[in-house]
């Protein structure tokens, strides 16, 4: 009888007076932090749940499974990162040619603040794409297209006479190089790879 009661309660929110929306956000935020550092495929849920004091049984009230949770984490990170990009690329207080550099310096400071243990969640997940669910592949591709559009729009401000196709290619190239540079920073424990990349990218734009 007791076992039946436990089974019926699986997936219900804990009766602790916690706000359901806040708890879900806390879980996602904890997931961003954990997956950014340790990856998705090899990570269990225990540490993520422990950090926000949510029992494992209650997790399924918020998310059907780990795959759905991963999609929510990617969406959350995309919203955060897109706002960060916009705060630099659309900053009217800076000259257009300084906005991308402002984003770069902000990102470097963040990497150093976390002692090179974290980086870009999307870039990290791309490196383990072979073992991720297909839904994650589709989501990551969609996110990256959105980021590329933001860089392409910025390039249109900088170089209004540039053809749209060329801007799109330059924007795609930016993210290919950027993600590689951020990953290399974690390896060498310095932001020099980002400096190397951005300096050459800016030279490419001027040609």
How many Å is the maximal CA-CA distance in the chain? 75
Per-residue pLDDT reduced to its tens digit, 142-160 = 999 999 999 999 999 999 9
Rounded mean pLDDT of 2-31? 63
Q: Which residue has the higher pLDDT, 132 or 19?
A: 132
Residue 45 CA to residue 31 CA, distance in Å, equals 9
Using the predicted structure, report yes or no on whether residue 3 has a pLDDT greater than 80.
Answer: no
CB atoms within 10 A of CB 150: 18
Q: What is the CATH number of the domain that holds 43?
A: 1.10.357.10
Could you list the residue range(s) of the whole structural domain that residue 22 is in?
Answer: 2-206
Tokens at 62, concatenated: 């918020």
The confidence band for 18, taking pLDDT boundaries of 50, 70 and 90, is low
CA angle 131, 82, 87 (to 5 degrees): 150
The confidence band for 56, taking pLDDT boundaries of 50, 70 and 90, is confident
Number of domains forming the structure of the chain: 1
Rounded mean pLDDT of 117-139? 94
Residue 138 CA to residue 79 CA, distance in Å, equals 17
Residue 12, pLDDT score: 47
Per-residue pLDDT reduced to its tens digit, 171-184 = 999 999 999 999 99
Taking alpha carbons only, the member of 140, 104, 115 closest to residue 125 is 140
Residue 104 CA to residue 94 CA, distance in Å, equals 14
The confidence band for 2, taking pLDDT boundaries of 50, 70 and 90, is very low
Question: What is the number of residues in the chain?
Answer: 207
15 burial level (CB within 10 Å; 0-12, 13-18, 19+): exposed
Going by the DSSP 8-state scheme, the letter that residue 162 receives in this structure is S
């Amino acid at each position: 009888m007791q076992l039946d009661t436990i089974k019926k309660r699986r997936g219900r929110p804990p009766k602790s007076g916690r706000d359901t929306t806040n708890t879900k956000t806390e879980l996602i935020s904890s997931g961003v932090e954990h997956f950014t550092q340790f990856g998705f495929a090899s990570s269990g849920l225990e540490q993520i749940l422990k950090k926000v004091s949510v029992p494992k049984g209650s997790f399924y009230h918020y998310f059907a499974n780990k795959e759905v949770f991963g999609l929510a984490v990617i969406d959350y990170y995309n919203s955060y990162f897109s706002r960060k990009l916009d705060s630099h690329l659309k900053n009217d207080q800076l000259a257009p040619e300084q906005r991308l550099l402002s984003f770069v310096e902000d990102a470097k400071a963040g990497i150093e603040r976390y002692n090179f243990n974290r980086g870009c969640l999307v870039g990290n997940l791309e490196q383990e794409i072979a073992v991720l669910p297909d839904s994650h592949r589709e989501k990551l591709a969609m996110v990256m297209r959105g980021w590329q559009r933001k860089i392409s729009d910025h390039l249109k401000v900088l170089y209004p006479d540039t053809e749209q196709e060329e801007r799109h290619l330059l924007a795609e190239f930016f993210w290919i190089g950027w993600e590689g540079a951020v990953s290399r920073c974690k390896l060498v424990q310095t932001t020099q790879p980002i400096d190397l990349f951005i300096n050459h990218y800016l030279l490419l734009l001027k040609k």
